[in-house]
Structure 1
């Protein structure tokens, strides 16, 4: 019971937002560490297993009898891959079922790891910059003051966020590698039969799989054979050839079929998203339309001036700010920032005094900027 409650707490933690409600990534990134981690951890929930000898020893099926399984039950075989055989007959051993919950749990942790690393290196920088402006209700005057402070700070620090951006890209690349790595892990775990598991099962369902047992039955047999020894009444050892009922494989075959299609879709989406990130890094002409989509009714000349003044990391930071601010506030932000960096002191300060990436706390630097601004007015 305590283990089940622990799993429940982990799942709630994964599904929930952070304490400040700030979104520091994108929807696809969330598919990796929220939905995919949830799928693996939920399927890894402990299940009561039989204490029969079949569960504590390796069982086997007979591959040569799978070819005759199209005749079942009108043949001499007991079930798909089960029947009489000689001592030299080829056997396919199954021992994975003992480790399914543990492997699924570790894979769930693996999908959460890139998000944890990004949170670690991000260091709540975006939350500090927003100053709670992501909240839906805020006093208008307080919002204007905080927006002015943010513009002042960004004007001084433009050009220092490339490291911030490339750390995020590295975590995205880790997401892509994670999908392929876990697909390979499952394929090895199931004896090399996971690679084509989805297409074979789909072909069997639509009637083009050919004769014989279904791929689901082949990979996850419901009946297997096992040999164990007993001591007879006379003290002699008796070897018993028995049939084992693998009831849990009825669930395992569907779990791994779901995982096959989900991992393939996630891999395709991740590769396309990473390719789009590469395009965005090289195609600066796309940045003005992207800002227009997030800052509607903003002067296009202001947006063009801003795009000319910012680097790749700066544009990435602006996109994160756009995800956490309402349209009106973000439009005002980019308008004021464009005018600050293209007129007078704003651009000169951003070139001379911009701190290096990762130096200083944003809230502290914002307060310093406001102090200098007040002193200049005095």
Structure 2
């Protein structure tokens, strides 16, 4: 297990060339590792030990365990608010009186490990798409100038080559920024869709799961209605039918303990909080992108904040002359180039590039 989890460290390794931002990596790398780790832990817990243990008399225990695991178990929702030990044996466990409509069935626990795996794949998809679109462009034009471990002559040659690329490829990076921002928007769509689907997966209980858990601290112990026990019950019921010696149909009502739900309830409370955090961060990120797109007069300040060695006048000149795609490329270069090299390249680039963005100038 340690070796399997250790293999996930590769997703979290520090990049020497950054083609995206920190929030994008949190969604694509950290969230992917988080979901894969949860999936592996639940899978190991499920197959190491007994994921379900049913109490039934007159029948082989392993038969009932297998049947209840592959079919479903249920609770009585109205029994969760009754007093345990006096009115009911366990939270949600009461006589059903053959009322099928009053039962709440649980079948999700068979699928949790698989669902988490496919969620991890969905979270990694925007990075996969962006890496395909980006194609190593930044790495190829940086040419190792992020480290500057080279001779002075080699550094100057690489700097001239970078400047030559920027001048010759002005107005050719519209799709570069559009595809990256689309991948950022895809991250938010992915998180929102996943939260919606998880809510459907848990019969409408996921969206309010975290807030209800947090609200427990303000409720007296004797009045508490634990949402974790309601969504992930530790004890459920299962009905097993078989034919008796005379051919009559016999009904066996059994209690089933689900130790796996102890892991599930903690896993999903963490996932709920993390997905809420990611939703807020990604919404803020898209608002910031809209700010850059619709208010170009603030681009010089953003560019200057990236590297304060560059004079604000140079930042204004570049932002006025360049379209958004070219501006975004030099902004990302500021994250990857040595500050001194970046200052020299941007200063020379501002002198040689011709004005392109008349719309900005009119602002």
If the length of structure 2 is used for normalisation, what is the TM-score? 0.86
Alignment partner for residue 322 of structure 2, among 302, 310, 334? Answer: 310
Separation of aligned partners in 2, 1:139 and 1:44: 49
What CA distance in whole angstroms lies between the structure 1 residues aligned with 2:343 and 2:220?
Answer: 56
Asked whether the 8 Å contact 2:134–2:176 carries over to 1, the reply is yes
Cα contact 1:23–1:324 (8 A) shared by 2: yes
Following superposition, the deviation at residue 298 of structure 1 comes to: 2.8
Q: Which residue of 1 aligns with 2:182?
A: 170
Distance 1:187 1:136 in 2: 50
Deviation at 1:85, TM superposition (A): 3.2
CA distance in 1, matches of 2:310, 2:5: 48
Please point out which of 209, 214, 239 is paired with 2:226. Answer: 214
Indicate whether 1:201 and 2:231 are aligned.
no
Match of 1:41 in 2: 36
Alpha-carbon offset, residue 153 of structure 1: 1.4
In structure 1, how many angstroms separate the alpha carbons of the residues matched to 2:187 and 2:222? 37
Flag structure 1 segments of 5+ consecutive residues without an equivalent. Answer: 342-346, 352-378
What is aligned with 1:361?
Answer: none
Deviations 1:83-110 (A, max 9, x none): 2331126100000000000000000100
Question: What is the CA-CA distance between 1:17 and the residue it aligns to?
Answer: 5.0
Match of 2:20 in 1: 25
Per the TM alignment, residue 300 of structure 1 is displaced from its structure 2 partner at its CA by 3.1
Which residues in structure 2 correspond to 1:149-164 (within 5 Å)?
149-164=161-176
| Conserved? CA contact 1:80–1:213, under 8 Å | no
User: Do 1:133 and 1:325's aligned partners in 2 also have CA atoms closer than 8 Å?
Assistant: yes
Out of 9, 13, 16, the position equivalent to 1:16 is: 13
Q: Deviation per CA, 1:295-333: give whole Å up to 9, x if none.
A: 323333333222211111111111111111122121112
For 1:305 and 1:209, the matched residues in 2 are separated by 65
Contact 1:176–1:270 at 8 Å: present in 2 too? yes
Mean Cα deviation higher: 322-331 or 189-198: 322-331
Aligned-partner Cα distance in 2 for 1:99–1:284: 48
Q: Deviations over 1:40-99 (max 9, x none)?
A: 11101122145723322200000121121xx223x1311001023311261000000000
Preserved CA contact (<8 Å) 1:43 1:104: yes
Hey, what does 2:87 align to over in structure 1?
Answer: 76
- The answer as to whether partners of 1:22 and 1:324 remain within 8 angstroms in 2 is yes
Match of 1:120 among 128, 132, 136: 132
Are the aligned partners of 2:318 and 2:327 in contact in 1 as well (CA < 8 Å)?
no
CA deviation after TM superposition for structure 1 residue 129, in Å: 1.0
Aligned equivalent of 2:267: 255
TM-score between both structures, scaled by the size of structure 1? 0.83
Displacement of 1:5: 5.8
Match of 1:275 in 2: 287
* Structure 1 equivalent of residue 81 of structure 2: 67
- Partner residue in 1 for 2:72: 58
Please name the residue that 1:109 is paired with.
121
Q: Which residue of 1 aligns with 2:160?
A: 148
SS at match of 2:34: helix
1:340 aligns with 2:340: no
In 1, Cα distance between equivalents of 2:316 and 2:31: 39
Q: Provide the alpha-carbon RMSD of the alignment.
A: 2.3
Corresponding residue for 1:365?
none
CA-to-aligned-CA distance 1:184-234 (integer Å, 9 cap, x gap)? 111011011111111111101332799353011111000000011345566
Large movers: runs of 4+ above 4 Å? 4-8, 230-237
Q: For 1:231 and 1:100, locate their aligned partners in 2 and report how far apart those are by CA, in whole Å.
A: 33
Aligned length: 337
Listed as ranges, the gaps of 5+ residues in structure 2 are 53-61, 358-363
Secondary structure (helix, strand or coil) at the match of 2:238 reads strand
SS at match of 2:96: coil
Tell me the distance in 2 between the aligned counterparts of 1:235 and 1:135.
Answer: 82
